[in-house]
Homo-oligomer: A and B are copies of this chain.
Amino acid sequence: MTDLSTALQRSLDGRWAAIRDETRKELNPERFAPPSGWLSLEDYRARIADQVQGIAETGHAARGFPVEMGGNGDLGGSVTAFEMLGHADLSLMVKAGVHWGLFGGAVANLGTKRHHAAYLPSIIDASLPGCFAMTETGHGSDVQSLGTTATYDPATDELVVHTPDLRSRKDYIGGAARDGRMAAVFAQLVTGGESHGVHCVLVPIRDDAGAAMPGVTIGDCGPKAGLAGVDNGRLSFDHVRVPRTNLLNRYGDIDEQGRYTSPIENQTRRFFTMLGTLVRGRISVAGGAGAATRTALTLAITYAGHRRQFAPPGASDEVLLLDYRTHQRKLLPALAKSYALQFAQNELVALMHDVQVSGEEVEEHQQRELEARAAGIKAVATAHATATIQTCREACGGAGYLAVNRLPALKADTDVFTTFEGDNTVLLQLVAKGLLTDYRDSFGDLDTLGMVRFGARQFAGAVIERTAARGLVHRLIESTPGRDSEKGPLDRGWQLDLFEDRERHLLETVALRLRKAGKPDADLFAVFNDAQDHVVAAARAHVDRTILESFVTGIETCTDPAARELLERVCDLYALHTIEADKGWFLEHGRITPARSKQVTATVNDLCAALRPHAQDLVDAFGIPQAWLASELLDPIETTR
Contact = CB atoms under 8 A, between A and B. Distances in A.
Interface of A: 37-38, 40-41, 135, 137-142, 145, 165-167, 171-172, 221-226, 309-315, 318-319, 323-327, 329, 386, 390, 393-394, 397-398, 400-404, 407-408, 411-412, 415-416, 418-420, 423-425, 447-450, 452-453, 524-525, 528-530, 532-533, 536, 580, 582-584, 587-590, 594, 597-598, 605, 637-638, 641
A135 B398 contact: yes
A312 B449 contact: yes
Complex A-B, nearest 5 residue pairs according to Cβ-Cβ distance, in ascending order: A225-B408, A223-B403, A583-B584, A584-B584, A587-B587
Contacts of A309: 139-142
A419 B401 contact: yes
Contacts of A594: 587-590
B313 A449 contact: yes
A371 B323 CA distance: 28
A312 B145 CA distance: 12
Contact of A225 (B41, B140, B412): B412
A124 B222 CA distance: 38
Contact of A529 (B311, B325, B397, B584): B325
Contacts of A40: 38, 40
B140 A397 contact: yes
Contact of A167 (B323, B447, B638): B638
A221 B529 contact: no
A311 B402 contact: no
Nearest to A227: B401
B408 A393 contact: no
Contacts of A398: 135, 140, 171-172, 416, 419-420
A538 to B, nearest CB: 13
A411 B420 CA distance: 18
Contacts of A145: 310-311, 318
B397 A313 contact: no
Given A386-B390, A530-B325, A310 B449 contact: yes
B402 A224 contact: yes
Contacts of A452: 313
Contact of A411 (B225, B323, B449, B637): B225
Contacts of A311: 145, 449
A96 B260 CA distance: 66
B641 A319 contact: no
Given A225-B412, A398-B419, A419-B401, A310 B447 contact: yes
Contact of A326 (B222, B324, B532, B582): B532
B403 A532 contact: no
Given A394-B418, A530-B325, A166 B637 contact: yes
Contacts of A325: 529-530, 532-533
Contacts of A536: 326
B397 A419 contact: yes
Contact of A587 (B222, B402, B450, B584): B584
Nearest to A608: B533
Given A224-B402, A398-B420, A638-B167, A529 B323 contact: yes
Nearest to A403: B223
Given A140-B398, A397-B423, A419-B397, A312 B525 contact: yes
Given A313-B447, A319-B525, A525-B319, A393 B225 contact: yes
10 contacts: A38-B222, A140-B309, A166-B638, A225-B403, A226-B408, A314-B524, A325-B529, A326-B425, A326-B532, A589-B594
Nearest to A394: B418
B583 A313 contact: no
B588 A533 contact: no
Contacts of A532: 324-326
A588 B601 CA distance: 11
B425 A401 contact: no
Contacts of A221: 402
Contacts of A530: 325, 605
B597 A584 contact: yes
A142 B449 CA distance: 55
A545 to B, nearest CB: 20
Contacts of A315: 525
Given A225-B408, A310-B448, A310-B449, 17 more contacts: A37-B223, A38-B40, A38-B222, A140-B398, A141-B309, A142-B310, A172-B398, A225-B401, A225-B403, A313-B449, A326-B425, A394-B423, A400-B419, A411-B415, A412-B412, A587-B587, A587-B588
